[in-house]
Amino acid sequence: MSIEEVCRRIQPLETSLQVKAQARLDRLTKPVGSLGRLEELAAAYVAITGELKPHVPRGVVFTFAADHGVTLEAVSAYPREVTPQMVLNFLRGGAGVNVLARHAGVDVRVVDIGVDYEFDTVPGLLHRKVMKGTRNLAVEPAMTRDQAEQAVMVGVELATEAVREGIGLIGTGEMGIGNTTPSAAITAAMTGRSVEDVTGRGTGIDEAGRRHKVSVIERAIELHRPNPTDPLDVLTKVGGLEIGGLVGLMLGAAAARIPVVLDGFIAGAAALIAVGLQPLCREYLMASHRSVERGHRVILDHLGLNPLLDLDLRLGEGTGACLGMDLVCAAIKIYTEMATFDEAGVSEKS
């Protein structure tokens, strides 16, 4: 299977299903529209999956991990050694995403798609390494086009395998020291906004560090001239391996009619690439929250996605996605378990 074939499998949503779902929501024992975004989520889930009477789905967050050569430019507050250290923390269940996944009742699957470290046979880790981290995008393309395509297909294959297992809701997660730099570069390239407008402080650099980060990204874009009409060119030149994996995860899930709950800025950058490759993919995406990262607001506006939460989050890993997945499941329970006026024998509005 190729990326093009996956994109061709993604179909427009059946709006008639959304109408039918909303009709049931309007008959529930409440004033019409009084559960707001929860009703919107339930109707969207029905339209995406085609299930008029859905069960609460099994959910999985895929946390893709990779390193970035651009860390040589001192764009992060943390050393790149933190990437493999955090991967081991995920596998032990000690990270923020693990805590919130347990709270939401979803699984976390950790994927080594490009960490500059050999984990050998660490239990629980999905070994899908394309290369040991990207190259320094400030001086050369982050990867080859073939490597970018490989990273995307890793995500497609993981989504496809999850659907075969009966997974009905997928969340995005990532880990990679330095990855807000390629995310900002992708955002600038795909939206046409200035690098200044889309570059934040990442893991906590100061304002001088942020200005340096802006200059690094500007230099990379000037050097490589990523082509926004060819999203894979953008991913190849200024992207990241975990971002590529997330692109494929979104495309593969959409092709199988499974909703994807996006995390924050890095997931948003991946969504720009995925929607660039197949605009219909956008209808299968749900934005869990609005990140503190300034570029994330630009992404959400560009994609027309309305985030469910605004909690000043900026951790990544899939933490926001877990909270969003919890809300999706709550919405499905409202839709399927709440009584209608007829069923409950309750008088309607006169």
**Could you give the residue range(s) of every CATH 3.40.50.10210 domain in the chain?**
58-329
What does the angle CA 313 – CA 319 – CA 320 come to, to the nearest 5 degrees? 60
Q: In this structure, what token pair is assigned to residue 210?
A: 């942020």
Amino acid symbol at 163: V
Average pLDDT for 51-63: 96
The pLDDT confidence band at residue 112, using thresholds 50, 70 and 90, is very high
| Residues 278/254, Cβ–Cβ less than 8 Å | yes
Could you tell me what percent of the chain has a pLDDT over 90? Answer: 93
Nearest to 191 by CA among 88, 112, 299: 299
Please give the pLDDT value at position 226: 98
Tell the CATH topology of 58-329. Rossmann fold (3.40.50)
| pLDDT(350) > 80 | no
Q: Looking at the annotation, which residues are catalytic?
A: 317
| pLDDT(54) > 90 | yes
Report pTM: 0.96
pLDDT 10s digits, 78-89 = 998 999 999 999
pLDDT 10s digits, 5-49 = 999 999 999 889 999 999 999 999 999 999 999 999 999 999 999
Residues sharing a CB contact under 8 Å with residue 330, sequence separation 6 or more, in sequence order: 38
Task: Tell me the CB-side half-sphere exposure of residue 233, using CA atoms within 13 A.
Answer: 10
Average pLDDT for 332-344: 92
pLDDT 10s digits, 154-168 = 999 999 999 999 999
Please give the pLDDT value at position 83: 95
User: Which residues does residue 262 pair with via DSSP β-bridges, in sequence order?
Assistant: 287
Tell the CATH topology of 3-53+335-344. 1.10.1610
Could you tell me what percent of the chain has a pLDDT over 70? Answer: 100
**Could you give the residue range(s) of every CATH 1.10.1610.10 domain in the chain?**
3-53+335-344
